[in-house]
Structure 1
């Protein structure tokens, strides 16, 4: 049965829209720390095959799991746009920045120790090794052609 025509039941609500999942920056930081702990406690596993006198043996080796804002959002049960909104909220900006820096540091350190793929992490962190070559005053480089036949 539908609501009666002209009803205004929605006005009886104490608030409109969904309440934020985290009502304080401290709650958000605590939840982010739970994600950090979960990442540490749940490494990825790589199956490695080794030859031995008994034949081929397979061993599962733990591998570092990279933290990410996307992974954090899944863990917190929020969408990435909600994370962006938390960054804009008064009092939450500092916590969001700290969380972003923890994630960045974990990726950078993991890549530097080659526990994570350095090329993938460098791209993810925007650490491109770019060299731009130009001629005088930013003009394109012009190849020099040696017409004398000498090297």
Structure 2
């Protein structure tokens, strides 16, 4: 079995097990989008830090990109995903820096995806958020176009 396949399988297993543990420890439904939205809110630093969120971050921010890097080294494929990976890291860094602004409104906006897509803030945080939104959508279009 190839190293990139092993890495992606391990990353997916860690990600799903950490989601399961987080959902069970916070009494979130497993079969509802609310549970996954809350989990992503935790992964992107908008919720209280737990060990299961740490493992989810490791899988999302290190495991999945590592599998594409290994695939690129082995086959020369997968480079189309690099802009999306970098933008995801940028979004994580943004929410790590500005989490205190969004933690006050996170309950009324219902989580990470709502804040990412329609969250409002002011100043440099607002400009940065709009730039990340544009880059994220552009990187998704780039992946779909060249894949």
TM-score (norm 1): 0.30
TM-score (norm 2): 0.30
**Higher relative contact order at CA 8 Å, sep ≥6: structure 1 or structure 2?**
2
Q: Which has the higher helix share?
A: 2
Q: Which has the higher strand share?
A: 1
Q: Which has the larger radius of gyration?
A: 1
